[in-house]
Amino acid sequence: MSRVSSLHRLQEIDLSIDRARARLAEVEKLLGASDTVRAARASHDQAQARLDAAEASVRDAELAAATQRAKLENAERSLYSGGVHNPKELQGLQADVDSLRRHMSSLEDCLLEAMVALEDVEARARQAAGQLDQAEAAQVTEEASLAGERSQLQARLATLDTEREAALAGVAEKDLALYARLRDSMGGRALATLQDGSCGACGVGISAGERQTVRNSAELFRCPQCGRILYAG
C-alpha cells in the first residue's frame, strides 16, 4: 500500500470513529431524559389534585344537604303533627318550614353544580392518566431501542479501534504527524480525493502534471490551496 493509501485508509477509519462517537454521545443524552414523560406526569399530578378537590367539594355539599334535609324534616313533623293549635305558632312553624325549604333548594343546586364539575374533572384526570401511560410505554420502547443502538456502537468502536491499530502499522511516523496536524486544523479531514481534476475538499483545479504526481509519486502531494494531502482514489 502506498503512503497516501495508508493514510487514506487511516482517515476512513478515523471518520467512522468520529461518526460512531458523535452518535453514541447523542444516544447517551437521549437515554438520560424524556421531556414527554416529565410533562405528562406533571399534567397527571395536576389533574389528580383537581380531582381530589372536586371530590371534597361534592362530599361537603352532600353533607350540607343532608344536614339541612334533617332540619327540614324535623320542622315539617312539628308543623303536621297536629300537636300545635295556636295559629300564631302554626304560622311561625310554616314560615320556618318555607325558609328551610328555600335553603334546602339552594343547597341542592350547589350539590348538583359540584357533581357536574366533578364529572368534568374526572374526565380530564382519565385523559391525563391515559396520556401518561402512553408516554411511559413509548419511553420504554424508545429506551430499549436506544440501549440496543448503544451496544452496537460500542462494539463497532471496539472493532474500529482494532482496525485503526492495524492501519497505523503501515504509516510512517512523520506522515502520521502531518496527518494528525491536518486533521486537527481541517475539520477532521487531512486528505482530499481528486475529483474531476480538482481538490475534492476545496475545489481548486489541479493541473495534469500535478495529478500525475498525485497518482504516481511516492511522495505526499498537498493541495496548493487548502493544504490537504491529495488522494487519487
CB of 203 to Zn ion, least distance (A): 7
- In the complex with Zn ion, which residue's Cβ is closer, 54 or 230? 230
Q: Binding to Zn ion (CB under 5 A): which residues in 21-60?
A: none
CB of 2 to Zn ion, least distance (A): 20
CB of 33 to Zn ion, least distance (A): 41
Measure CA 149 to chain center.
17
Select from 190, 199, 206, 214 the one that contacts Zn ion (CB under 5 A).
199
- In the complex with Zn ion, which residue's Cβ is closer, 129 or 202? 202
Told to check if 226 binds Zn ion by CB under 5 A, we report yes
Told to check if 220 binds Zn ion by CB under 5 A, we report no
Select from 30, 168, 202, 232 the one that contacts Zn ion (CB under 5 A).
202
- In the complex with Zn ion, which residue's Cβ is closer, 50 or 189? 189
Q: Which residues of 155-175 are buried (b: 16+ CB within 10 A; e: fewer)?
A: ebeeebeebeeebeeebeeeb
CB of 212 to Zn ion, least distance (A): 17
Angle at 192 between CA 23 and CA 224, to 5 degrees: 140
CB of 9 to Zn ion, least distance (A): 20
**Rounded distance, CA 30 to CA 153, Å?**
15
Alpha carbon distances (Å) from 100 to 32, 80, 83, 88, 131? 62, 15, 20, 18, 46
Told to check if 223 binds Zn ion by CB under 5 A, we report yes
**Rounded distance, CA 113 to CA 117, Å?**
6
DSSP 8-state class, residue 81: S
- In the complex with Zn ion, which residue's Cβ is closer, 134 or 185? 185
Task: Enumerate long-range contacts of 141-146, CB under 8 Å, 24 or more apart.
Answer: 142/30, 142/34, 143/31, 146/27, 146/30, 146/31
DSSP 8-state class, residue 169: T
CB of 144 to Zn ion, least distance (A): 45
> What stretches of the chain adopt beta strand conformation (E)?
191-195, 198-199, 229-231
- In the complex with Zn ion, which residue's Cβ is closer, 87 or 187? 187
- In the complex with Zn ion, which residue's Cβ is closer, 100 or 231? 231
Positions touching Zn ion (CB under 5 A) are: 199, 201-202, 223, 225-226
